[in-house]
Amino acid sequence: MARDCIFCKIVEREIPAEIVYETEDVLAFTDANPQAPVHILVIPKAHIPDFNSIEQEQLYLLSSVGAAIQELANKFSLADGYRVVNNCGENGGQTVAHIHFHLLGGRKLGWPPG
Ligand code: 5GP
Ligand code: ZN
């Protein structure tokens, strides 16, 4: 874990979050500033700074994230559709340097993003 990372602290239960899914590899919790009726952050527990930093031997974690998203979409009744977003780096709008996937749903989402 990275000492100064808020998402690592959520993994370690050092700061509170509403946790909605957990496996050995993956944690999901509701976003503190939700942009849709359902706004969940899905993260590998390992501290990976961003999408571009995923090492070859960590790629399996993307499968774990995918399984989490499918289960959460079912759990939160998103049969009408949803969006998965990964913001990578400054131009991507990433503000927390621990890779995370936004799962957004519960309303019709606009496109394109800003
Ligand atoms: P990014 O802009 O990096 O793609 O997304 C970071 C997200 O993390 C934002 O949607 C923000 O609301 C959320 N966030 C930031 N700090 C916390 C926190 O301490 N707890 C939770 N649950 N979400 C957070
Ligand atoms: Zn971290």
The ranges assigned to domains in the chain are 6-105
pLDDT tops 90 at residue 2: no
Ligand 1 atom with minimal separation from the 30 CA: 22
Question: Order of strands across the sheet with 101-105?
Answer: 19-22, 26-30, 38-44, 101-105, 82-85
Cα 30 to averaged position of ligand 1 atoms, centre (Å): 9
Cα 79 to averaged position of ligand 2 atoms, centre (Å): 31
Cα 38 to averaged position of ligand 2 atoms, centre (Å): 23
Dihedral angle computed from the Cα positions of residues 51, 57, 58 and 60, in that order, rounded to the nearest 10 degrees: 110
How sure is the predictor about 16, in pLDDT bands with cuts at 50, 70 and 90?
very high
Mutate which of 33, 83, 86, 102 to test ligand 1's pocket (most atoms within 8 Å of Cβ)? 33
CA-closest candidate to residue 5, choices 39, 53, 68: 53
Residue 78, pLDDT score: 98
Distance CA(52)–CA(63), nearest Å, equals 16
Ligand 1 atom with minimal separation from the 100 CA: 4
Residue 1, pLDDT score: 82
Distance CA(44)–CA(104), nearest Å, equals 18
Residue 14, pLDDT score: 97
pTM above 0.85, yes or no: yes
Residue 112, pLDDT score: 95
Ligand 1 atom with minimal separation from the 87 CA: 4
The 10s digit of each residue's pLDDT in 23-76 is 999 999 999 999 999 999 999 999 999 999 999 999 999 999 999 999 999 999
Residues forming the active site: 100
Looking at CATH, the fold of the domain delimited by 6-105 is given as HIT family, subunit A (3.30.428)
Query: How many residues belong to the chain?
Result: 114
Residue 3, pLDDT score: 85
The residue ranges of DSSP E strands in 5-109, in sequence order, are 19-22, 26-30, 38-44, 82-85, 101-105
Structure tokens given for 105 = 């749903």
The 10s digit of each residue's pLDDT in 67-108 is 999 999 999 999 999 999 999 999 999 999 999 999 999 999
